[in-house]
Structure 1
Amino acid sequence: MNPDRTDDELARLDMGVLLRYGLTAPPGPRRTALFGDGAAGAAVLLDRLGTRPRSVAFLADTVRAGGLAYAAGLPEPLPRPEASAVVRDWLAAGTGLAAGVTADDTAARWLRAVATLIELRQLTRTARG
C-alpha cells in the first residue's frame, strides 16, 4: 500500500487481481491491499462514472444474500450501464474462486467499504463547494 497514490493511480489498479487474491486471503497484506488501495481505487472508478453510494451498498446486500455468482448474473448490477460493466468484471473475478460463503461475505464487506468511500468523496466535494 502506498498512501501517496493519486486517484489516477488508484483507478488503474487491477481490481480483478486484487479480488482474486484478496477475497480468500487470511488477514495480511493481500487482504489489506484489497480493502485499502483496492477499495479506494474502486471508489474512484465508480465515482467517476456517477455511481451513487446507495446503489453499491444495495449490490453489497445482494451479494450477501444471493452470493457472488448470483450478483454476477444480474443484467444490471448497478443502475448505470458503464458502472454495471465494470462491476460485473469484478464480480466475475470473485465467482471463479469457488470459495462459497466466505468469499461472498468478504466481497459484500468490500463493496460496502467501496460505497462508504464513494459517499465520503461526494461529501468532501460538496463541502468544498
Structure 2
Amino acid sequence: MSHDPSPRTDDEMLADTDIEVLLRHGLSRDAFRTMLFGDGAIAAAVTLDRLGVLPRSVSYVAKIVRAGGLTYAAGLAEPLPSGPASACLRDWLEAAAQVGGAPDAEARAARWLDTVADLIGLRRGSRAVPAGPGPA
C-alpha cells in the first residue's frame, strides 16, 4: 500500500523556511549569505505577499533600517500597515538585530529587505499579466 502525500507547492515549502535563523546566520557568516538572499528572501516575499504587503512598504522599512538601525526598526509599533505583517517583520528584525556588531549587518539587512520588496513586486507583476494565446 503506497501512501502518496499531497504534493506541496514551492510557495508552501518556502513559507516553512525559518527566516529568523537565516537572518542570524546569513548576516554574520558568508557561508549562509547565499541562502539568506536566495531561499530566505523568496520565503519572506511569499510570506509578506500572502499577508497583502506592498513592495513599497518593505522598501520603506529598509530605509528605516539604514537611517536608524535594526534595533530601532524592530522597536516600531507597526513597521508595516497590518498587524499580522508587522508582527512577522518585527520578529525578523529582532532576529537580525541579535547579530550585534557583525560588520555591515545593518547594511546587509537593508539590502535583504530591498530584495524581498523586489521579489514581492515580481510576484505581483507575474500574476497581473493575463495569459495570452499559446504558440501559433
TM-based fold match above 0.5:
yes
Match of 1:13 in 2: 17
Moved >6 Å (runs of 4+): none
Question: Does the aligned pair in 1 maintain the 2:28–2:103 contact within 8 Å?
Answer: no
Q: Percent identity?
A: 54
C-alpha deviations, 1:22-47, integer Å up to 9, x for none? 01112x4x100000000000000000
TM-score, length-normalised on structure 2?
0.87
Q: d(CA) in 2 for partners of 1:110 and 1:44?
A: 14
TM-fit CA distance, 1:95: 1.0
Greater per-residue helix proportion: 1
- CA distance in structure 1 between the aligned counterparts of 2:15 and 2:67, rounded to whole angstroms: 28
CA apart distance, 1:96: 1.2
Give TM-score, length-normalised by structure 1: 0.91
Q: Number of residue pairs matched?
A: 123
Superposition deviation, residue 100 in structure 1? 5.8
Aligned to 2:82: 80
Once the two structures are TM-superposed, the CA of residue 108 in structure 1 deviates from its matched residue by 0.1
Matched residue of 1:128: which SS? coil
Deviation of the 1:128 alpha carbon: 3.2
Instruction: Flag the structure with larger Rg.
Output: 2
Any gaps of 5 or more consecutive residues in structure 1? Answer: none
